[in-house]
Structure 1
């Protein structure tokens, strides 16, 4: 099992770092405009945005499955295909739920609800993204990787 460096960088590293890069840009913009919001590089990850990374990895996995089905028509990828779609929906739901902000008094850190919600969003998005990444790597390396023409 060999993973190409370029494929790994484009399909794994860049998407995993994208939320942090976006936060860094927002931090820079806040400093330029002298905003008073406290933004952390970890905020996108804590708020469940790894769910969106999972969605991107699912899209890559679906593309690879399609390519493999054309190369190896006898191979069965139905179970993986269904699993990827389930992970895609879960990742999107987790990211969307984690990004919802509310100013209602009962969702403050003092009650612990906001903190617990962020922990749940981070934990669930981390689990979904790790499972998605593992499935993407299995799909990419199956049948020697998508090398047919």
Structure 2
């Protein structure tokens, strides 16, 4: 089940990165519900340990979080959570890139970075997105 989270997200990452201009790519990632697939494995790990997880998130404590993450189910649940939310962020970046006319190769490279280091990928994308707003002709085409 641990691997399932990534394998359920991988096809969406693949089309956004390798075939960003393919007509079916936008159709495949148009719905935010694509992120629910990797969440299947999240629920697999969380449901039996929901009480423990609720304690960790409702009363944040570093020691309790470390203890939860030290368990195979805790680490796997957090992994599935990260995979799903990274996909959600990547999907948003892909759609924003298309909408704003950011070159698909640049967006693909940023998405690749986002798979491995999502906070850095998101910051890079936000900087590129902001720059695209200030380029001549942006307002005429996008507003």
More helix by share: 2
What is the TM-score when the length of structure 2 is the normalising length?
0.38
Which of the pair has more CA radius of gyration? Answer: 1
Give the structure-1-normalised TM-score: 0.37
